[in-house]
């Protein structure tokens, strides 16, 4: 399964982002090929916070636009929303300890732990900080 991290979702949603066309196309192709896709619940929350923020955008996305986008991404049958289940806690603590992350890096460990707990082995992201978690291969679809 391939999971998609917040920054790729933002690029795919916001037309003014430099990687918009690539991100949108990459997600569409991934789903069209019938691959299993994971949408981390926490990333969907972060996505919503970013695209609705009036300090970032002249015209932030409305809640209705967010609803439409998230429902479109999560509707295909091979797309699964990944939530933090009971086994997540142990994975999260192990990652924090083994990687030495702290502060803001803890949020990356949260996303990585959720992915790993659900059997995700590849995370699409433009954030190189996820390289701290060797159990999770990272791919930046904006450059590949």
Q: pLDDT tens digit string along 69-84?
A: 999 999 999 999 999 9
Average pLDDT of span 15-35: 95
Does residue 58 have a pLDDT over 70? Answer: yes
Residue 65: count other Cβ atoms within 10 Å of its Cβ: 13
Please report how many Cα atoms fall inside a 13 Å half-sphere around the Cα of residue 84, on the Cβ side.
15
CA distance 113 to 120: 10
Q: 96-136, pLDDT tens digit by residue?
A: 999 999 998 999 999 999 999 999 999 999 999 999 999 99
- What is 53-68 written as a DSSP string? -TTT-SSPPPHHHHHH
Q: What pLDDT shows up at residue 87?
A: 80
Give the pLDDT confidence score for residue 135 in this predicted structure.
93
- Does the model's pTM come out above 0.85? yes
Q: Residue 85: its pLDDT value, please? A: 85
* 144, pLDDT greater than 70: no
Sequence-distant contacts of 16-20: CB under 8 A, at least 24 apart: 19/126, 19/142
């Amino acid at each position: 399964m391939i999971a998609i991290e917040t920054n790729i979702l933002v690029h795919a949603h916001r037309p003014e982002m430099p990687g918009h066309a690539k991100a949108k196309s990459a997600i569409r192709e991934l789903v069209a090929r019938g691959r299993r896709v994971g949408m981390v619940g926490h990333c969907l929350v972060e996505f919503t916070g970013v695209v609705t923020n009036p300090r970032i955008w002249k015209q932030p996305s409305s809640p209705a636009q967010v609803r439409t986008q998230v429902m479109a991404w999560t509707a295909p049958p091979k797309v699964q929303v990944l939530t933090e289940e009971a086994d997540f806690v142990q994975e999260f603590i192990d990652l924090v300890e083994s990687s030495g992350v702290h502060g803001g890096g803890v949020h990356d460990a949260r996303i990585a732990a959720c992915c790993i707990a659900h059997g995700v082995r590849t995370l699409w992201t433009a954030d190189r900080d996820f390289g701290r978690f060797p159990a999770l291969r990272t791919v930046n679809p904006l450059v590949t």
